[in-house]
Structure 1
Amino acid sequence: MSGLLVDADAIRALAEILTDTGLTEIEVSEKDSRIRVARAPATVQATAPAAVAAPAPAPVAAPAAPVPAAPADLSRHPGAVNSPMVGVAYLTPDPSSPPFVSEGQIVSAGQTLLLIEAMKTFNQIKAPKAGTVKTLLVTSGDPVEFGQPLAIIE
């Protein structure tokens, strides 16, 4: 371990981003180094195992169970567009512009649906197929996790 160089300031900065955004994990890669910072899952994720684990905790978790269950079910939807990364979602290219797409709009494959900002880089999230935007599951400024459903295209 003596050859391992740790950038404590970078780790602190990433941990602060996790705290500020409410995310549970962030990873940065540069050349041959990689830093991944993760923290314990939020209570929303903690309620899902309680609902599945045993019948006794189910009544306690029952009010919160429908909220986490909906995104999990939607991520498996055949028209789901899932987040390829952790970051912050934006539905417009800038605050004064109209949204890239809206619910009910017909989109073509490759059309930009939204942006995800990760480490001050804006990444275009494009429609994987042509269809109609049935539902947008995020709003501008929402933190998103890897694999989280962002939209449904049918």
Structure 2
Amino acid sequence: MSRLPVDAEAIRSLAKILTETGLTEIEIAEKDSRIRVVRAPAAIAPATYAAPVAAATPAAAHPAAGTPVSVTPATADLSKHPGAVTSPMVGVAYLSPEPGAAPFASMGQPVTAGQTLLLIEAMKTFNQIKAPKAGTLTQFLVASGDPVEFGEVLAVIE
């Protein structure tokens, strides 16, 4: 069995690119050789958002539409909540169909089962995340443009 020559400098350069970009995998191929560097995804620290203190406190402005949206930090308790809407994939969350458009759902308003709450873009495909049940949308835990992980709580329906 012959050994392929190892280009340690190329591997270091690829690993540096992974670190700089946040990617988890990169591969280059040339003629009959191929180098693939893979690392376990780093745990993304949850972003810290200011939670509304009282109902009279204005909510954060929706980045795309300028409409109010409440963003609350995720906690371990919410993952067990019966109304938790979790991400089925890794991607980027969007609360409206396009920049400048009204959001799919607004906090404090009723939603119906099957209603689109947000989109998750993964591999250039926009996937609708729908309400699993009818109720009132009490919390959004992501903002438009936020990266999301598989199983992350995105919203809560009471």
1:82 and 1:100 map into 2 onto residues whose CA distance is 16
TM-score normalised to structure 1 length: 0.60
5+ residue gaps in structure 1?
1-11, 27-35, 46-66
Shift of residue 75 of structure 1?
Answer: 1.2
Asked if 1:149 corresponds to 2:149, the answer is no
Q: Deviations over 1:82-112 (max 9, x none)?
A: 0010000000000021000010010100000
Corresponding residue to 1:82 among 81, 86, 89:
86
2:130 and 2:20 map into 1 onto residues whose CA distance is 28
Question: How well do the aligned residues superpose, as a CA RMSD in angstroms?
Answer: 2.8
Change beyond 3 A, Cα 1:19–1:135: farther
Q: Secondary structure at the match of 1:74?
A: helix
Bigger radius of gyration among the two: 2
Structure (1/2) with the larger helix percentage: 1
Q: Which residue number corresponds to residue 39 of structure 1?
A: 41
Corresponding residue to 2:113 among 109, 113, 116:
109
Instruction: Find runs of 4+ consecutive structure 1 residues off by over 2 angstroms.
Output: 36-42
Corresponding residue to 2:142 among 121, 138, 152:
138
Q: Which residue number corresponds to residue 119 of structure 1?
A: 123
1:38 and 1:117 map into 2 onto residues whose CA distance is 21
Kept in 2: contact 1:71–1:148 (CA 8 A) = no
Aligned residue pairs, count: 106
